[in-house]
Amino acid sequence: MKEMSVTELKDLMDSGEDFQLIDVREPNEYEVAEIGGELIPLATVPDNADKIAKDKKVVVHCRSGKRSANAIQFLEQQHGFDNLYNLVGGILAWSDEIDPNVQKY
């Protein structure tokens, strides 16, 4: 599984490159802290695979990186994705390394 650090994601955001950011946390978590991703909770990923791009980089994140890894594993095995990156450390790493205003929970 391909991975991306939060600093690499920040660089990607700042570069203006076209990519998709998917947040697989739950809606209540998204309300507490978010970094601009499209919310597709993990349990709904199978029904929403068609909303995830196959023609550009897609970074998938959650709180710490475990649920996003599970989502990527499913999408790679069941739908043949090869353009997905797991955000190492998730929202917690983003808060620690990029933006301390993003609330930890």
Could you give the residue numbers annotated as active site?
Answer: 62
Helix (H) or strand (E) holding 3: strand 2-4
58 touches 68 (CB < 8 A): no
61/67 Cα distance (integer angstroms): 8
Q: Which residue type is seen at 74?
A: F
